Structure 1
Amino acid sequence: RLSGGLENLANNHYLPFLRRCLEFRYVTASVGLGILILAMALIMSGRILFTFFPSIEGDRVYASLEMPEGVSVSVTAKGAERLEAAAEALKADLEELTGEKNVIRNVFTSIGQKADRSSGRPNMNGPGRSHFGEVVIGLAPAAERDNLSAKLVASMWREKVGTIPDAVKLSFNADEFSAGEPINYELAGRDVDMLRAAATELRAELGRYAGVFDITDSFRAGKQEIKLSLLPEARNLGLTLRDLATQVRSAFYGSEAQRIQRGQDDVRVMVRFPESERASIGNLEDMYIRTPQGIEVPFYSVAQFELGRGYSTINRVNGRRVINVIADIDRSQISPEEVNISIQKEVLPGLQAKYPTIRMSLSGEQEERAKSFSGLFQAAMLSLVVIYTLLAIPLKSYIQPLVIMSVIPFGAVGAIAGHWIMGYQLMFFSALGIVALSGVVVNASLVLVDYINRRRREGMELDEAVLSAGVVRFRPILLTSVTTFVGLVPLMATPSPATMFFIPMAISLAFGVLSATFITLILVPCLYQIAEDAFGWDPVAQGQIDADEAYLNAQAQRAE
Structure 2
Amino acid sequence: MGITSLVLKHHKFATIIFLLLFVVGMNSFLNMPRTENPQITVPAATVFAIYPGANPVDLEQLIAQPIEDAISELEDIKRVSTSIRDGLVVVNVEFYFGVDTDEKYNKVVQEINSVREVLPDDLYSLETLKWRVSDQVLMQLALTADSLPYHVLRTKAEKIQDAVKKLSAIRKVEVLAAPEQEVIVELDMEKMGVLNLGIDRVEKAIKSNNANIPGGSVKLGKRSFGVKTSGAYTNLDQIAATVVHAKNGYLIRLKDVATIRMGDEDEKYKARFKGTKSVFVAIYQKEGRNVFETTKEVDRVLQKIDSQIGANIELNQVFKQSREVENKISNFQGNLFQGIALVGILIFLALGVRSAFLVIIAIPLSIIIGLFGVDISGFAMQQMTIAGLVIALGLLVDNSIVMTEGINRYIDQGNKPAKAAVLAAAEIGWPVITATLTTVLAFVPIIAMPDKAGVFIRSMPVTIILTLSVSLLLALTLTPLLASRFFKNRSKPTTKNDGKQAKGIKRLLNYLVEHSYRDTIVFALKHRWLVIWGAIGVFSITMLMAYLYLGISFFPKAEKGQFLVRAHLPQGSSLEHTSEVVTHIETVLDTIPDVKFYASNIGHGNPRIYYNVLSKNYQKSFGEVFVQLESYDVDKFDALVDRLRGLFDKYTDARIEIKEFEQSPPVDAPIMVYIKGNELERLRKISKTFENLLASQPGVINLDNSLSKVRTDLLVDINRDKANMYGVPVHAIDKAVRTAVAGMQVDQFRDEKGEEYPITLRMPQGDEFSPDDFRKVYVKSMAGYAVPLHQLASIKFQKAPNEIRRFNYERTALLTADLEKGASLDDALEPVIARLKSYNFPDGYDYYIGGELESRKESFGGMQRAVLIAILMIFAVLVLQFKSYTQPLIIFATIPLAMIGSVYALMITGNTFSFTAFIGLTSLVGIVINNAIILVDYTNWLRKEGYSKFEALRISGETRFTPIILTTLTTAGGLLPLTLQGGDLWAPMGWTIIGGLLISTFLTLVVVPVLYSVVVKEN
Per the alignment, in what secondary structure is the counterpart of residue 353 of structure 1? coil
| Map of 1:215 onto structure 2 | 703
Structure 2: how far apart are the matches of 1:74 and 1:239?
37
Counterparts of 1:290-329 in structure 2, within 5 Å, are: 306-311=796-801, 313-329=803-819
| Map of 1:336 onto structure 2 | 825
Shift of 1:445: 0.4
Going from structure 1 to structure 2, the CA distance change for 1:438 and 1:239 (only over 3 Å counts) comes to same
AA aligned to 2:629 is: L
Shift of 1:508: 2.1
| Map of 1:268 onto structure 2 | 759
Shift of 1:466: 2.6
| Map of 1:106 onto structure 2 | 597
Per the alignment, in what secondary structure is the counterpart of residue 54 of structure 1? coil
| Map of 1:545 onto structure 2 | none
Structure 2: how far apart are the matches of 1:267 and 1:419?
62
2:945 is aligned, of 430, 453, 458, to 458
Q: What TM-score, normalized by structure 2, do the two folds share?
A: 0.45
| Map of 1:21 onto structure 2 | 524
AA aligned to 1:369 is: R
Structure 1: how far apart are the matches of 2:769 and 2:881?
90
AA aligned to 1:57 is: E
Alignment of 1:492 onto 2:979? yes
Structure 2: how far apart are the matches of 1:54 and 1:29?
38
Alignment of 1:58 onto 2:560? yes
Going from structure 1 to structure 2, the CA distance change for 1:235 and 1:410 (only over 3 Å counts) comes to farther
Structure 1: how far apart are the matches of 2:776 and 2:978?
77
Going from structure 1 to structure 2, the CA distance change for 1:240 and 1:335 (only over 3 Å counts) comes to same
Alignment of 1:483 onto 2:967? no
Is the contact between residue 187 and residue 324 of structure 1 (CA under 8 Å) also seen in structure 2? yes
Shift of 1:404: 0.7
Structure 2: how far apart are the matches of 1:301 and 1:56?
60
Per the alignment, in what secondary structure is the counterpart of residue 62 of structure 1? strand
AA aligned to 1:86 is: V
| Map of 2:684 onto structure 1 | 196
AA aligned to 1:63 is: V
Going from structure 1 to structure 2, the CA distance change for 1:260 and 1:117 (only over 3 Å counts) comes to closer
AA aligned to 1:348 is: L
| Map of 1:97 onto structure 2 | none
Shift of 1:517: 0.8
Shift of 1:435: 1.0
Structure 2: unaligned runs, 5 residues or longer: 1-499
Is the contact between residue 57 and residue 151 of structure 1 (CA under 8 Å) also seen in structure 2? no
2:911 is aligned, of 397, 408, 424, to 424
Structure 1: how far apart are the matches of 2:974 and 2:777?
84
Shift of 1:469: 2.5
Q: Which digits, 9 at most, give the CA deviation of each residue in 1:40-80, with x for residues without a partner?
A: 3344x453123111223321242110212332222112211
Is the contact between residue 671 and residue 818 of structure 2 (CA under 8 Å) also seen in structure 1? yes
Shift of 1:288: 7.4
Q: Which digits, 9 at most, give the CA deviation of each residue in 1:472-508, with x for residues without a partner?
A: 3333322332333233333333x255xx533332222
Structure 1: how far apart are the matches of 2:648 and 2:578?
15
Is the contact between residue 257 and residue 271 of structure 1 (CA under 8 Å) also seen in structure 2? no
Is the contact between residue 255 and residue 270 of structure 1 (CA under 8 Å) also seen in structure 2? yes
Shift of 1:152: 1.3
Q: Paired residues, what number?
A: 507
Per the alignment, in what secondary structure is the counterpart of residue 106 of structure 1? strand
Shift of 1:202: 1.8
2:576 is aligned, of 74, 83, 90, to 74
Per the alignment, in what secondary structure is the counterpart of residue 812 of structure 2? strand
AA aligned to 1:172 is: I
AA aligned to 1:436 is: S
Identity of aligned residues (%): 24
Shift of 1:129: 3.1
Counterparts of 1:212-251 in structure 2, within 5 Å, are: 212-219=700-707, 221=710, 224-226=713-715, 228=717, 231=720, 241-242=730-731, 244-246=733-735, 248-249=737-738
2:650 is aligned, of 157, 163, 169, to 163
Structure 1: how far apart are the matches of 2:748 and 2:643?
55
Counterparts of 1:481-520 in structure 2, within 5 Å, are: 481-493=968-980, 495=981, 500-520=984-1004
AA aligned to 2:811 is: R
Is the contact between residue 225 and residue 310 of structure 1 (CA under 8 Å) also seen in structure 2? no
Is the contact between residue 231 and residue 304 of structure 1 (CA under 8 Å) also seen in structure 2? no
Shift of 1:327: 2.0
Alignment of 1:434 onto 2:921? yes
Alignment of 1:129 onto 2:634? no
Structure 2: how far apart are the matches of 1:250 and 1:116?
31
Counterparts of 1:276-425 in structure 2, within 5 Å, are: 281=771, 306-311=796-801, 313-332=803-822, 334-345=823-834, 347-350=835-838, 352-353=839-840, 357-425=844-912
Structure 1: how far apart are the matches of 2:942 and 2:951?
9
Structure 2: how far apart are the matches of 1:222 and 1:178?
35
Going from structure 1 to structure 2, the CA distance change for 1:340 and 1:475 (only over 3 Å counts) comes to same
Q: Which digits, 9 at most, give the CA deviation of each residue in 1:532-560, with x for residues without a partner?
A: 3xxx474xxxxxxxxxxxxxxxxxxxxxx
Is the contact between residue 60 and residue 150 of structure 1 (CA under 8 Å) also seen in structure 2? no
AA aligned to 1:82 is: H
Note the aligned Cα RMSD (angstroms): 3.6
Structure 1: how far apart are the matches of 2:818 and 2:907?
25
| Map of 1:547 onto structure 2 | none
| Map of 1:94 onto structure 2 | none
Per the alignment, in what secondary structure is the counterpart of residue 661 of structure 2? strand
Q: Which digits, 9 at most, give the CA deviation of each residue in 1:152-180, with x for residues without a partner?
A: 1122122233433342x321134364554
Structure 1: unaligned runs, 5 residues or longer: 92-101, 539-560
Is the contact between residue 743 and residue 760 of structure 2 (CA under 8 Å) also seen in structure 1? no
Structure 2: how far apart are the matches of 1:256 and 1:482?
72
| Map of 2:659 onto structure 1 | 173
Shift of 1:148: 4.7
Q: Which digits, 9 at most, give the CA deviation of each residue in 1:308-344, with x for residues without a partner?
A: 3444543222211223212222224x32232223433
Shift of 1:361: 2.9
Shift of 1:117: 5.7
| Map of 1:205 onto structure 2 | 693
Deviates more, 1:290-299 or 1:448-457: 290-299
Per the alignment, in what secondary structure is the counterpart of residue 471 of structure 1? helix
Q: Which digits, 9 at most, give the CA deviation of each residue in 1:397-422, with x for residues without a partner?
A: 11111111110222122122222233
AA aligned to 2:1004 is: T
Going from structure 1 to structure 2, the CA distance change for 1:458 and 1:432 (only over 3 Å counts) comes to same
Alignment of 1:526 onto 2:1014? no
Structure 2: how far apart are the matches of 1:148 and 1:203?
31
Structure 2: how far apart are the matches of 1:271 and 1:483?
75
| Map of 1:552 onto structure 2 | none
Alignment of 1:10 onto 2:501? no
Q: What TM-score, normalized by structure 1, do the two folds share?
A: 0.78
Counterparts of 1:147-162 in structure 2, within 5 Å, are: 148-162=635-649
AA aligned to 1:17 is: T
Structure 2: how far apart are the matches of 1:35 and 1:235?
87
Going from structure 1 to structure 2, the CA distance change for 1:348 and 1:390 (only over 3 Å counts) comes to same
Shift of 1:396: 0.8
AA aligned to 2:999 is: S
Per the alignment, in what secondary structure is the counterpart of residue 550 of structure 2? coil
| Map of 1:118 onto structure 2 | 609
Is the contact between residue 550 and residue 907 of structure 2 (CA under 8 Å) also seen in structure 1? no
Alignment of 1:472 onto 2:959? yes
Is the contact between residue 916 and residue 989 of structure 2 (CA under 8 Å) also seen in structure 1? yes
AA aligned to 1:158 is: R
Structure 1: how far apart are the matches of 2:957 and 2:747?
96
